[in-house]
Structure 1
Amino acid sequence: MAIIKASESILSIMLMILLGSFLNSRHWFDGDCPNLLVKLVVNISLPALMIYNMMSNFGKDDLLTAGNALIVPSLSMLLCYLMSIFVAHILNINSSRRGAFRSMFFNSNTIFMGLPINMALFGEKSLPYVLFYYVVNSFFFWTLGVSEIKKDGTANGTHTPAKAVFSIDTVRKILSPPLIGLLAALMLILLNINLPDFLMDTLKNLGNLTTPLSMIFIGITISAVNIRNIRFNKEMAALLMGRFIIAPLTILLLSNVFYIPKLMRDVFVIQAAMPVMTNTAIISKAYGADSEYVAIMITLTTLAILLVIPLYMFVLNYI
């Protein structure tokens, strides 16, 4: 039953991705249209979704007992980051793409893919745990992840040496509109402030745009990749292992050390098993790293979840 439910959820997601790819092939999204979709999701629908669902599904008592919700994903990503350094060294990955490989190894697509998939699999009650994982994932990406990608730009001779990992720019990136929406929701919950029904309904309707717009954007991104440039190699195999085996397994192991509820554990496992973060391609392009290499990895890992997520749903159903 779990496999059927997971497969149906993934197929629904993939149909929206295919729609985005098809419409892009018909030139519906020329110019800045893809950027507009990203702006709508990141600045409008996603913050609205976070405020509405956090306030609908999370109480003050839940917040005060959520310490392990940050500890488990933090330790998992730190372990995966250290593992990525070791794997990149063993495989002797070229210095012009080594940083991107490390970043992709330990960071996952927690919002554009993770959020809608978890909502489809576990319902709205999963959202608070999705957001906790998102907070940690965002912090690690905009600090360690971006720092590693900058090194690739330096190796290519197209960017100045990387600055400090922690900076004002890093703080600004971490404090994105979705995270600000999350922090606002947390504050309202802690202060026992309830928003009026008309405002909650508005937030709900805006939030419902998140999944379809996100999937259409990913379809646009994938359709821009030249499939003929994809050649399976040891780097791809290592990245697939990192994304879909090592990262989820660290969550399972750590959940036995730090107690977390089963639903939280299951959500974290699915979040850890998500594809490469789409922001990696944007940052790689901005810093002169190998953005085409990153786009190929995003495509490969996104397609791979068709098999991965049903498998994990089957496993989680019996442990």
Structure 2
Amino acid sequence: MIFTFLHAIESILTIIIMFMTGWVLTHVGWLDEKTSVIFSKIIVNVSFPCYMLWNLMSNFDKAKLQELSGGLIIPITSILLSYFLSVLVSNLMKIDPKRKGIFRCIFFTSNTIFIGLPVNLSLFGAESTPYVLIYYIANTCFFWTLGNYEISKDGEGNREKQKFSFDAIKKIANPAMAGFVVAIILILLEVQLPRFVMDSCKYIGELTTPLAMFFIGIVLHSTPFKKLRIDRDIIVLLLARFVLCPVVVIALELFIPVPSMMAKVFVIQATMPAVTSTGVIAKQYGADVEFATIATVVTTIASMIVIPIYMILI
């Protein structure tokens, strides 16, 4: 139990060390605001699409994809219910329009791969990997479609575009989502990409996490210390990420029977902090990137306390 606890803490500390490295590099003048813009473009348009293609095609074949697809019902349903809760809560709280979409996105999506995968592996072992990836597929799909669209409405000039339009469809059909769709199609068609293509996607895709962490470090460095307080919005997001979303999953599992291992993995996945790319997307659309970054950092640090508690309970 102690080993598992420490391993989970190490996974989270790795993320914290990386974004603090970004902060230090910004402080000494190696990185700056222009660099953060470049990083955000690389992540959204190049590295993450490559990561999606490599990750899915490396972990799934047609048979496994079809076999595990039935397990998607709980992640899809729970994330959708959490989204509707986020809309309700954000409207009742009258969240600032500049951050409403970010608030909703962090409310209903979680960091299922960069933190979720190592935490589940330390807790349940390699046999949990397929279930981690099932939740990851659903979470990623919603983050890069519904979450991406919500954040886009926060940006300057977009706040009045509340209805879906051709412009909204273009935002949903982003490069990251394209990488996901292409990977699924290739898997279903049983197409094997050449090794040099897969290796290239792997190496380029692995840039995603460090670049996203450096981006967070740059934004943190430019954020006045007084803004790093935990306000009402952050507190509600902490409750959403670590209480409401896991409870929604647990409630669904009372009515939808799934294997014990799958049920446990889904609860842990729903308990993860904010997706590290949230601030990157906010930057792309001119939304409140400071709020997105602070919420990401605070939920990540809070997860050091919350996740071990869930691990002990489960």
Number of residue equivalences: 304
Corresponding letter in the other structure for 2:220 = I
Number of the residue aligned with 1:236: 234
Does 2:196 correspond to 1:195?
Answer: no
Aligned to 1:302: 300
List per-residue Cα deviations over 1:139-174 (Å, max 9, x = no partner): 321345655x47xx7xxxx7663341x222222222
Change beyond 3 A, Cα 1:266–1:21: farther
State the match for 2:84 in structure 1.
82
Deviation at 1:60, TM superposition (A): 0.7
Q: 2: distance between equivalents of 1:95 and 1:31?
A: 24
Counterpart-to-counterpart distance in 2, 1:3 and 1:139: 34
Could you tell me whether the CA contact under 8 Å between 2:23 and 2:217 is conserved in 1?
A: yes
Inter-partner Cα distance in structure 1 for 2:106 and 2:292:
11
Q: Which runs of 5+ in 1 are unaligned?
A: none
* Deviations, residues 6-48 of structure 1 (Å, cap 9, x unaligned): 1111112211111111111112112421122222222222222
Aligned to 1:41: 43
| Post-superposition offset of 1:109 | 5.0
Partners of 1:106 and 1:288 in 2: how far apart?
20
Distance 2:95 2:178 in 1: 37
Give the corresponding residue for 2:109. 108
Corresponding residue for 1:26?
Answer: 28
CA offsets, 1:100-121, max 9 Å, x none? 47515533354xxx42213433
Distance 2:90 2:204 in 1: 42
* Cα distance between partner residues in 1 of 2:174 and 2:58: 22
AA matched with 2:20 = L
Indicate the residue corresponding to 2:142 in structure 1.
136
Give the 3 Å change call, closer, same or farther, for CA 204–234 of structure 1 in structure 2: closer
Distance 2:307 2:100 in 1: 27
Structure 2-normalised TM-score? 0.80
Offset, 1:66: 4.1
Alignment of 1:145-156 (within 5 A): 146-147=152-153, 149=154
Aligned to 2:168: 170
Residues 202 and 97 (structure 1 numbering): CA distance in 2 closer, same or farther, change over 3 Å?
Answer: closer
In structure 2, relative to structure 1, the CA distance for the partners of 1:298 and 1:203 (3 Å cut) is closer
The 3-state SS of whatever aligns with 1:32 is helix
* Distance of 1:86 and 1:36 partners within structure 2: 35
Q: Percent of aligned pairs with the same residue?
A: 34
Cα separation, partners in 2 of 1:99 and 1:13, compared to 1, 3 Å: closer
Tell me if the contact between 2:212 and 2:276 (Cα under 8 Å) persists in the aligned partners.
no
CA distance in 2, matches of 1:178, 1:17: 22
Greater alpha carbon shift after TM alignment, 212-221 vs 77-86: 77-86
- For structure 2, the residue ranges without an aligned partner over 5 or more in a row are none
Q: How far apart, CA to CA, are the structure 2 residues paired with 1:178 and 1:18?
A: 26
> For residue 64 of structure 2, what is the aligned residue in structure 1?
62
In the alignment, which residue of structure 2 is the partner of 1:118?
116
Alpha-carbon separation, structure 1, partners of 2:284 and 2:11: 34
2: CA distance, partners of 1:291 / 1:284 = 5
Name the aligned partner's letter for residue 178 of structure 1. Answer: A
User: 2:308, 2:241 → 1: CA distance?
Assistant: 15
> Does the CA-based 8 Å contact 1:49-1:208 persist in structure 2?
yes
On the 8 A contact 1:100/1:284 being kept in 2, the answer is no
Q: Deviations over 1:276-309 (max 9, x none)?
A: 4566656767878665444443342233222233
Q: Secondary structure at the match of 1:116?
A: coil
Alpha-carbon distance between aligned partners in 1 of 2:192 and 2:257, rounded to the nearest angstrom? 31
Q: Which amino acid aligns with 1:136?
A: F
2:4 is matched with 2
Aligned residues of 1:77 and 1:106 also touching (Cα < 8 A): no
Closer, same or farther: CA 36–167 of 1 in aligned 2, 3 Å = same
* TM-score (ref. length: structure 1): 0.79
Q: What corresponds to 1:99 in structure 2? A: 100
The secondary structure found in structure 1 opposite 2:113 is: helix
Post-superposition Cα deviations, 1:256-294, rounded to whole Å, max 9, x if no partner, equal 433455565555444433444566656767878665444
Return the match for 2:182 from 181, 184, 188: 184
> Aligned partners of 2:202, 2:283: CA distance in 1, in Å?
34
Q: Output the CA distance in 2 between the equivalents of 1:199 and 1:192.
A: 16
Amino acid at match of 2:51: L
How much does 1:237 deviate?
Answer: 2.3
